[in-house]
Amino acid sequence: MSFSEEVKHEVAHCAVENDIDRQVELAAILSCGGTVFYTEHDRRGFEFSTIHSAVARKVLQMWNHCFSLHPEVSVRQGVRLHKRNYYVLHIPPAISGTTALKQLHLLHDEPDFSTILVQPKQIQRIFLRGAFMGSGSVNPPQRDYHLEIITLYASVAKVILKIMRRLRLMASMTERKGMHVIYIKEGNSVAEFLQQIGAAQAYLQFESVRVMKDMRNNVNRIVNCETANLQKTVDAAIRQRHCIEVLKKNGAYIRLSEKLKEAATLRLLYPEAPLSELAAHSEITKSGLSHRLKKIEKLAQAIEGNDI
């Protein structure tokens, strides 16, 4: 079972307390995972399909609880590589079906859920939960952070995006192959979304892996930084030793001041040591050593040119 399936399985078992909540969740699921169809006489029905049995059961239970017309249920085999079963709920274009669809705001080409935006936040969370069950997906925390919900309807996508942003989730929207995609790519927002829709177990799993992942990334950054600093130290030490050798070969070394000779001697005694270690072996400060060694480099560059 993928992480997306685990999340949907968990939230499909979240309790729904009353008919208003049921209809909000049902409308969100159907608007993201289903579509209106038309008969020859312009009568309208609705069809919803999902590969998730727990979601299919919840849709059927909520529909049967709210409406007298029972959907036709069938199972179809997918045509793609894994050929997974699709659970299909078909609402025929009967009068009672049309009434139900109208009540769910699903009768028109562009469903209007703008009233959700003036409802309490709990209702808006239920709508998000339904939308995710309808067509959502989320990467496992081990991979790049990515959560998305897809819908055919621009009006539905805009409502989902507004709800997410009201909940301070870093969400964006785009289009893909004629569909509207609302997505989150930021780890904190993905975790918060899971918490907001009631996926407590998935949230804890996501956060546990994310903390370990962030710790590994921080350790890697520190190691990389220390490695880079060490390389700079080694490169500087090699350059300084070379400059001292240039001065010795040229005969300029004997004309150096005692202070510069002291710094040069320390560098030759401890060829790869950082300045802090050189300072510990003498009475010269780190900044003083740095100044003297830079002066030696300038003298050597004057002899050999700027190729050092």
> Which strand (E) or helix (H) includes residue 296?
helix 286-304
The structural domains of the chain, with segments of one domain joined by +, span 3-198, 215-304
Mean pLDDT of 28-45: 82
CB atoms within 10 A of CB 88: 17
Judge whether residue 81 has pLDDT over 60: no
More confident call, 286 vs 40: 286
> Which strand (E) or helix (H) includes residue 291?
helix 286-304
Mean pLDDT of 134-139: 95
Mean pLDDT of 234-241: 91
pLDDT in tens, 51-70: 999 999 999 999 999 988 88
Query: What pLDDT sits at residue 79?
Result: 64
pTM of the model: 0.71
pLDDT in tens, 173-210: 999 999 999 999 999 999 999 999 999 999 999 998 88
Judge whether residue 37 has pLDDT over 90: no
User: Using N-to-C axis directions, what is the helix angle for 19-33 and 121-135, rounded to 10°?
Assistant: 40
Structure-block tokens of residue 4: 């997306």
> CATH topology for 3-198?
Endonuclease I-creI (3.10.28)
Query: What pLDDT sits at residue 80?
Result: 62
Q: Beta strand 147-151 with 179-184: parallel, antiparallel or unpaired?
A: antiparallel
Mean pLDDT of the chain: 89
pLDDT in tens, 86-110: 899 988 877 777 788 888 888 777 7
Judge whether residue 156 has pLDDT over 90: yes
Mean pLDDT of 280-292: 91
Beta strands in the chain (DSSP E): 34-38, 44-50, 72-77, 85-91, 136-138, 147-151, 171-176, 179-184
Judge whether residue 169 has pLDDT over 60: yes
Query: What pLDDT sits at residue 69?
Result: 83
Q: By the 8 A CB rule, do 206 and 222 touch?
A: no
